[in-house]
Amino acid sequence: MKLYVIKIGGNVIDNSENLHKFLKDFAALKGLKILVHGGGKMATQISSSLGIEAKLVDGRRITDIETLRVVTMVYAGLINKNMVAQLQRYHNNAIGLTGADGNFIRAKKRPVKTIDYGFVGDLDGQSVQPESISKLLDASFTPVFCALTHDGDGQMLNTNADTIASALAVSLAEMYETTLIYCFEKKGVLQDIDDEDSLITEINPERYEQLKLEKIVSEGMLPKLDNAFDAIKSGVKEVIIGRADELHLLNTKSTFGTILKSN
């Protein structure tokens, strides 16, 4: 059976008009699906209203205990539950989750090397419980994950939403024909970063090596694409990178943006 794992980030969440359009399109998308969302700017705004300063060490963001409290409130409470209520309005039977719920995603607190990142969780091949998640899918629920996991010992952990989406897709690829979709602000991978009409519609590993040699892939896209091809190597059928407002195209032509495939 087909399964979509779809990740949206701050650019969708921070604009309520974009978010509503996206949730309506997501609800209308046929087939099994999982949504993963990041946090957007709201956590930063609420932290600052609460007088909690962003902690940075060597330019890297640190999740101290105060910040963890705020992201638990904002990601798992405010953002997640309002999304769920909207999806219900559009007749999609969503359930809002963190990795702690159902023990679906268990992480390890990032070990302290040169930087102590605080309450940040890293995932490995054993983190996701696909059989447990499939019980929700089988019962016609749509899991909506925010960017939080737990350590199994009572501690919530802040975890990158891209990483969660990719770990879910790889793990569930054992049971479903899985497409991982990263929604971002551009149409997809562009030949010319300033020209939205220069979309590359399809990339396989061979073409990717070429694009890297020709320096067509921008620095910022490299880690995204490396991760995408790692997911494909680990069993994910395809990865799509494209704009959230083109997601609806999946219902008619079964793809949009740039599609990454193993061949």
In the range 102-121, which residues lie near a second copy by CB under 8 A?
Answer: 102-103
By CB under 8 A, name the one of 5, 34, 94, 128 that touches a second copy.
Answer: 94
By CB under 8 A, name the one of 30, 59, 111, 153 that touches a second copy.
Answer: 153
Q: Is 126 in the site for a second copy (CB under 8 A)?
A: no
Q: Is 58 in the site for a second copy (CB under 8 A)?
A: no
Closest CB 109 distance from a second copy, rounded Å: 13
Interface with a second copy (CB under 8 A), residue total 42
In the range 159-218, which residues lie near a second copy by CB under 8 A?
Answer: none
When the beta carbons of 81 and 237 are compared against a second copy, the nearer one is 81
Q: Is 55 in the site for a second copy (CB under 8 A)?
A: no
Closest CB 131 distance from a second copy, rounded Å: 10
Residue 176 · residue 2 · CB < 8 Å: yes
Q: Is 100 in the site for a second copy (CB under 8 A)?
A: yes
By CB under 8 A, name the one of 7, 150, 187, 243 that touches a second copy.
Answer: 150
CA 112 from chain center: how many Å? 25
By CB under 8 A, name the one of 21, 55, 61, 81 that touches a second copy.
Answer: 81
Three-state SS string across the chain, please?
A: CEEEEEEECHHHHCCHHHHHHHHHHHHHCCCEEEEEECCCCHHHHHHHHCCCCCEEECCEEEECHHHHHHHHHHHHHHHHHHHHHHHHHCCCCEEEECCCHHHCEECEECCCCCCCCECEEECCCCCECHHHHHHHHHCCCEEEECCEEECCCCCEEECCHHHHHHHHHHHHCCCCEEEEEEEECCCCCECCCCCCCCECCEECHHHHHHHHHCCCCCCCHHHHHHHHHHHHHCCCCEEEEEEHHHHHHHHHHCCCCEEEECC
Burial class (CB in 10 A: 0-12, 13-18, 19+), 130: middle
By C-alpha distance, which of 97, 112, 113 is closest to 156?
Answer: 97
In the range 9-48, which residues lie near a second copy by CB under 8 A?
Answer: 46
By CB under 8 A, name the one of 75, 117, 119, 176 that touches a second copy.
Answer: 75
By CB under 8 A, name the one of 59, 111, 154, 220 that touches a second copy.
Answer: 154
When the beta carbons of 75 and 208 are compared against a second copy, the nearer one is 75
By CB under 8 A, name the one of 152, 218, 223, 262 that touches a second copy.
Answer: 152
Closest CB 141 distance from a second copy, rounded Å: 6
Binding site for a second copy (CB under 8 A): 46, 49-51, 69, 72-78, 80-82, 84-86, 88-89, 93-98, 100-103, 132, 135-136, 139, 141, 148, 150, 152-156
